[in-house]
Structure 1
Amino acid sequence: MSFDNANVKKLPVGSYDVSIDVKPETGVGVGDPAPVTFTVTITQPTAQDTQPPDVQIVSHASASKFLLNQPIQVEFTAKDPLENGAGTGVNAVRAFISACSGGFKVDLTPQLVVTPELPVVADVEVTATANITAAWIGDFTLTAEADDRVGHTGSAATSFSVGVNVAPLPPIAVPGRQFKVGSTVPIKWQITGYEGHFLLPFENIKITISGPGGTTEERFAGDGAANIRWELDGSGNAIQYITNYQIPTEGAYTVTVSVPGVCGGNAEQGSFTFTASTKGGKF
């Protein structure tokens, strides 16, 4: 049985006894009236926290590029909205770096410095920071998350990449230099990281030499003159890489240098060019 009574006025907060007398319709049914009494309690409506914290990444900017071994400062803010008094405040924050469709992940949460101390009430902004080193080569995503006290999670994400600098060395690097068709040219280059520091040799390095007419040749590390070798300094870092290349025809050549990335395979890091002519120099 159910019923409505639209004539009941809005009642203030409190407890009310309600009595109902049920009488059979005249000529229908049998038995005496059946009175029912129960209590109705009216309370103030309770506001519900329905929104997650707002998370904003301060640094680094999206699509930032860093060099291998470069320091990176991670910073983000989080604030749970007031929601007319329903907000419960930020209760926890997290951050992590990922790549390779989730196959690579570094948890930054243990390194986060959070101010003010958690938990906080609604509408109070917290700032989380961490200092890390760009120790991997590839494309990455930084994700920051924050929870409120009822379990809502807000998040923000930004992308960044880490690589190395590639620079040609003489004779390729000599401006305006052309090389004679049929000659063997020592292609030399150096690879550096943050602040120009030399790095340990990339044993799985690869170069692609692209020539006239769409010809390409790939070369890898090895002991032969046509392979990639390197020279080391006293600390064991590679100060230059070299491969000898016999120029087959006249035209422009591009050398693309790739090194192993965090997701496996090789990641292109840079390129340089040289020109061959029938009237070139001794090389």
Structure 2
Amino acid sequence: MKKTGLRKMLHRKALSAVTALAISGLVPAGFAIAGELEINAELVASSMDVYVEQGETKSFNFNVKSDGNVTDADVTVPTKFAISANGTFTSSDSTTVKLNDKDMEKKVSAVIKVDPNLQAGKYTFNFITDQNVTFTNNNQKEAKLENKKPDSITFVVTKKLVSDTTAPVVTATPDRAPNANGWYNQDVTVSFSAVDEEGGSGLVPESVSAPAPVSEDGIHTVTGTAKDKAGNEGSGSITIKLDKTAPTISGSADREANEHGWYNKDVTVTFEAEDNLSGVADYTRSVPLTEEGKDQSARGTAVDNAGNSSSTEVLGINIDKTKPVINVEDGGTYKLNQTVTWSASDELSGLATAATGTIDTTKVGPQTQTITATDNAGNTRDVTISYNVEYNFGEVLQPINKDGSSVFKAGSTVPVKFQLTDSKGAFISTANATLRYAKSSNQVFGDSVEAVSTSAATSGNLFRYDASSKQYIFNFSTKGLTGGTYQITITLDDGTTHKVVIGLK
């Protein structure tokens, strides 16, 4: 068969194939015969995007055209389309378009109907055929009818326009909740979310305010906004109370220490706190210090309503409640002008007064003296002691033997003599001394008879002081006394008595 005859036969076959194509998309796509011969009947949408609302039925146009290789073709295309609620595409009704080499393109009017419950979005449908047709000539040559690359139409389904005068609802949300008092003590970030009313025009997501950081102390109103597609703008606010500054606290003792920096009674340290923003929630009111010790301290803490805290210490509190110790003998006996010392000590605050002193021994006889010691805390101890001060009495001097062995002639005058000194050996001339005697036995111990005084007997009972000999002398008259042993008692004004025994024959 000649090539021209084959072309005509294939042309007729192609026309019948075009009109018989089943459409699974929108309209059939172009196709071609493989090999040397080509026939195209290509259908192209006049608009690639068709905008339609939910529930809308809308008319639109597309073109059907040939590439010029078709001499005469009748192409049947659907003209009524529908998209169901689940997005399934269907078509009904059709029209036949006649194409030839002189009229290669025809406009087709169509209608699209969208289910009102179809979700808004883009729905694309391709122009494809569902079969290939193969022709065989007498020479066993094959010509294959194939689909060309399909075209497509995209339906952009939008929400049904409604009247919308209500602004979106904007919610401000901090990144965490405040404390129980409604305060924060660290930086806060507030985020915003928004929703438009059901059935409204819809939220514009990019219009929602970005997160807002809050970093400065104070009470802040943080506001965010959002818009819907109808242009309504809504706003939402939240109050953020931020206090990152700790409260101040100070303390002091209930009284001043003495001039030495010491207390001698319990001390109470009281505190005061202040916070200019969130306010003081709690603080240490007072701390009692009742123990003795040096360099004691009291600590106070304050917390504000935001949870910030601060502390302070009152230092250097010295407490000594114990009196000093005085070391001295009570009831002692000392010699006239003897140096007798006492001492005082204080282990904690130390002594404010002298640590040592002397007892007054400048007067003889029973004495009392009060010794006072005060420490640096002001504690004072008074100790009153009783003691005796005596002369330094050596012994009875000759002619009387101190061992009581002296024997004198009855009726004679016997000189009784002694000396007095102080603790340092100085002679005492101002003492008051008296003498008394008593017979203790009719016997006389000893044989010798001592010499007697040639001086006149002393009247009364007082000794006299002889400055030249530095002696106290009493000429004891034994006139009228019978033989025997006599005890002579010397009494001094220091309260002491001294006895000696003599015999008379």
**2:490 counterpart residue number:** 257
Verify: 1:42 aligned to 2:42, yes or no.
no
Of the three residues 59, 65, 85, the one matched with 2:333 is 65
Distance in structure 2 (CA, Å) of the matches to 1:132 and 1:159: 10
Distance in structure 1 (CA, Å) of the matches to 2:378 and 2:352: 10
Deviation at 1:137, TM superposition (A): 0.1
Q: What amino acid is the match of 2:474?
A: I
Write out the 4+ residue segments of structure 1 that deviate beyond 4 Å after TM superposition.
13-16, 148-151
**2:439 counterpart residue number:** 211
State TM-score, norm by structure 1. Answer: 0.51
Of the three residues 234, 240, 244, the one matched with 2:472 is 240
Describe the superposition over 1:23-73 as per-residue Cα deviations: whole angstroms up to 9, x where unpaired.
xxxxxxxxxxxxxxxx9862222337583313131xx54443322233x14
CA contact (8 A) 1:254 1:271 kept: no
Distance in structure 2 (CA, Å) of the matches to 1:252 and 1:69: 37
Verify: 1:231 aligned to 2:466, yes or no.
yes
Distance in structure 2 (CA, Å) of the matches to 1:54 and 1:43: 30
Cα distance change of structure 1 residues 188 and 75 upon mapping to structure 2, 3 Å threshold: closer
**1:143 counterpart residue number:** 370
Cα distance change of structure 1 residues 15 and 131 upon mapping to structure 2, 3 Å threshold: closer
Long gaps (5+) in structure 2 = 1-270, 275-281, 292-318, 442-455
Cα distance change of structure 1 residues 259 and 198 upon mapping to structure 2, 3 Å threshold: same
Deviation at 1:241, TM superposition (A): 1.8
Describe the superposition over 1:197-247 as per-residue Cα deviations: whole angstroms up to 9, x where unpaired.
321243x4322323348xxxxxxxxx96324333113xxx83332222215
**2:392 counterpart residue number:** 165
CA contact (8 A) 2:417 2:471 kept: no
Distance in structure 1 (CA, Å) of the matches to 2:358 and 2:467: 31
**2:321 counterpart residue number:** 51
Deviates more, 1:179-188 or 1:163-172: 179-188
**Aligned residues, how many?**
184
Cα distance change of structure 1 residues 194 and 181 upon mapping to structure 2, 3 Å threshold: same
CA contact (8 A) 1:55 1:144 kept: no
SS at match of 2:418: strand
Deviation at 1:169, TM superposition (A): 1.2
Q: What amino acid is the match of 1:69?
A: N
Q: How large is the RMSD of aligned CA atoms in angstroms?
A: 3.7
Residue identity over aligned pairs, in percent, reads 23
Distance in structure 2 (CA, Å) of the matches to 1:91 and 1:174: 50
Distance in structure 2 (CA, Å) of the matches to 1:133 and 1:145: 14
Cα distance change of structure 1 residues 132 and 151 upon mapping to structure 2, 3 Å threshold: closer
SS at match of 2:398: coil
**2:3 counterpart residue number:** none
Distance in structure 1 (CA, Å) of the matches to 2:357 and 2:326: 15
Deviation at 1:151, TM superposition (A): 4.6
Verify: 1:183 aligned to 2:417, yes or no.
no
SS at match of 1:268: coil
Distance in structure 2 (CA, Å) of the matches to 1:146 and 1:229: 44
Long gaps (5+) in structure 1 = 1-12, 17-38, 82-88, 94-113, 115-127, 214-222, 261-266
SS at match of 2:420: strand
Deviation at 1:150, TM superposition (A): 5.8
Larger Rg over CA atoms: 2
Distance in structure 1 (CA, Å) of the matches to 2:484 and 2:392: 26
CA contact (8 A) 1:186 1:242 kept: yes
